[in-house]
Amino acid sequence: MMTEYEMEPVPGLPGLLPKGETIIWQGAPNWRVLARTAFHTGTVAAYFAALTVFALGAALWRGVEAPSDLAGVAITIGGMIVGLALLHLLAWAVARSTIYTLTDRRVVLRFGVALPKCINLPLGIIGNVDLRQRANGTGDLAIKLNSEQRLGYAALWPHARAWHYVEPQPMMRAVPDVDAVATLLARACLSIQTDGRVVPIEAAARRAQAEEQAVAA
């Protein structure tokens, strides 16, 4: 059976690249990190662990004379196993259906397990990018837009910055080697001129370095 993604002319993109546009980087979330950070499997595990301790304490208080007296504990542990398994499966499915693409003109978020979506973010409307790095080298890149167009939080989730409902910020989550990706994104944004022209990324990087040196002097 053919899926929606198998019909993509370029993986992760809704169509062929326009003439002159170049892909700089493509990647997908690390599903294990996504499970912990977006689906909060650690918090869920801690919650069920507390319930298990409570159920065990209650059973010991009443007195344990037969295996059936520990039925509440068994049910709680079973619920924890099933719940965590479902959350990890969902995180795996989300990561498998997601491709983040950075070109010299835009950022593209393709995602959606049941309902495929593709969101194009021209580099010219990116006002700021917040980096959140983790010890294992993965991290999140939250993109703040300077345009008047607003994206729906529900339509973006889980690829949206938490608690930003009024002005949702698209987010590339659980990105491997996030430092390198953030550098590429910064250079790509610098290559976009205010009049919409594109200059080579290397030239933009040299310009930024020269500006930093001038400020330091």
The per-residue pLDDT of the chain, averaged, comes to 83
- Average pLDDT rounded to a whole number, residues 16-35: 94
pLDDT of residue 110: 94
pLDDT of residue 68: 66
Q: Give dist(CA 136, CA 178) in Å, integer.
A: 10
pLDDT of residue 66: 63
User: Which of 93-102, 128-137, 182-191 has the highest average model confidence (pLDDT)?
Assistant: 93-102
pLDDT of residue 202: 44
pLDDT of residue 33: 96
Tell me if residue 216 falls in helix, strand or coil: helix
For 110-125, the pLDDT digits (tens) are 998 888 889 999 998 8
Q: Give dist(CA 118, CA 153) in Å, integer.
A: 14
85 is written with which tokens? 């398994």
User: Which of 67-81, 167-181, 190-204 has the highest average model confidence (pLDDT)?
Assistant: 167-181
Cα pseudo-dihedral 35, 38, 44, 47, rounded to 10: 140
178 is written with which tokens? 């996030």
pLDDT of residue 58: 79
What percentage of the chain exceeds 90 in pLDDT? 52
Q: Backbone phi, then psi, for 42, in 5-degree steps?
A: -65, -45
Q: Backbone phi, then psi, for 10, in 5-degree steps?
A: -130, 125
Counts for the chain of helices (H) and strands (E), in that order: 6, 7
Q: Please give the full DSSP string across 72-100, using - where no structure is assigned.
A: HHHHHHHHHHHHHHHHHHHHHHHHHT-EE
Q: Give dist(CA 60, CA 58) in Å, integer.
A: 5
pLDDT of residue 183: 93
Position 200 pLDDT exceeds 60? no
104 is written with which tokens? 């010299």
Position 19 pLDDT exceeds 50? yes
pLDDT of residue 216: 52
Position 199 pLDDT exceeds 50? no
- pLDDT confidence bin for 29, thresholds 50/70/90: very high
Position 198 pLDDT exceeds 50? no
Q: Give dist(CA 30, CA 111) in Å, integer.
A: 14
Lowest-pLDDT range of 24-33, 80-89, 138-147 = 138-147
For 46-99, the pLDDT digits (tens) are 999 999 998 888 778 877 666 666 777 888 999 999 999 999 999 999 999 999
Query: Which amino acid is residue 189, in one-letter code?
Result: C
